[in-house]
A and B are shown apart, each in its own frame.
Chain A
Amino acid sequence: MTAIVEILSALFILMGVFLFLVSAFGIIRLPDVYTRNHAASKSSTLGIMFILIGTLLYFYYKHSHFDFRVVLAIIFIFMTSPVAGHLIMRSAYHTGVKMWDRSVQDDLKKTR
């Protein structure tokens, strides 16, 4: 039983690390702020959630105590990271950062 939980925990942590690498790669590669924010705000969130679930499982099978602080952290990050992404996006638009020159549509421009 503990072997299964150990493999599961290792799998979760490796998946989270892979998502982190994808997010870093996207932040380097994508062309403008708006598309970079897609990579940062989505992949990092799921990556940190996977790593924390892996940590939770590890402490559960190793010391058999269920740590509620980690659950609290998962819930908190899940709630706040979309808000942070939206705020950065808004401030980028209002400070007049240019969109990528291959962008095709901008409905927000008409209203201002």
Chain B
Amino acid sequence: MSFQILLNVFLAFIWMFLKNEFNGSTFIIGYILGLGIMFVFRHFFNDRFYLKRVNAVVLLLLIFARELILSNISVLMAVLKPSLDMRPGIFAYETVLTKDWEITILSNLITLTPGTLVVEVSEDNRILYIHAMDIADKDEAVDSIKNTFEKAIMEVSK
């Protein structure tokens, strides 16, 4: 991935030399043109085209923003409800992610999910203990963690 970015910067510099103009806008135009050339030749690289990874990161950020807003609505409902009838509890969740930074991002995302907050990560980094505001929502939360968050994080780290 770093090799591809380096190659792209190199192509942008070649464009600057060809145009004989050395300023920021020429560099940006050269970068975009180099991106186009590299997109055409993407099957000749050993690993994935790096724009795909950038796309996955942007998607992850969008998921972050959406979860933040949804979780605020759910907290609002729970706080403003006239009677406190929720049943909080801590449940264990087994994750398939292995690297440290992946688990960090996953626990940040879980903290922003409606009604859940990470309490503890086990010693071998495999089980997350999650406190839920209402244990009845547990299945829904596990489902969204498994199908949305872990998939989006794996898309970045693949």
Contacts and interface: CB of A to CB of B under 8 A. Distances in A.
Nearest to A40: B75
Interface in B52-108: 64, 68-69, 71-72, 75-76, 78-80, 84, 86-92, 107-108
Contact of A100 (B71, B72, B88): B88
Contacts of A106: 89-90
Nearest to B109: A82
Interface of A: 19, 22, 25-26, 29-32, 34-35, 37-39, 41-43, 45-46, 49, 78-79, 82-83, 85-86, 89-90, 93, 99-100, 102-108, 111
B79 A29 contact: yes
A89 B80 contact: no
Contacts of B129: 107-108
Nearest to B67: A42
B79 to A, nearest CB: 4
Contact of A22 (B79, B87, B117, B133): B79
A89 B72 contact: no
Contacts of A93: 119-120
Contact of A85 (B69, B88, B111): B111
B117 A31 contact: no
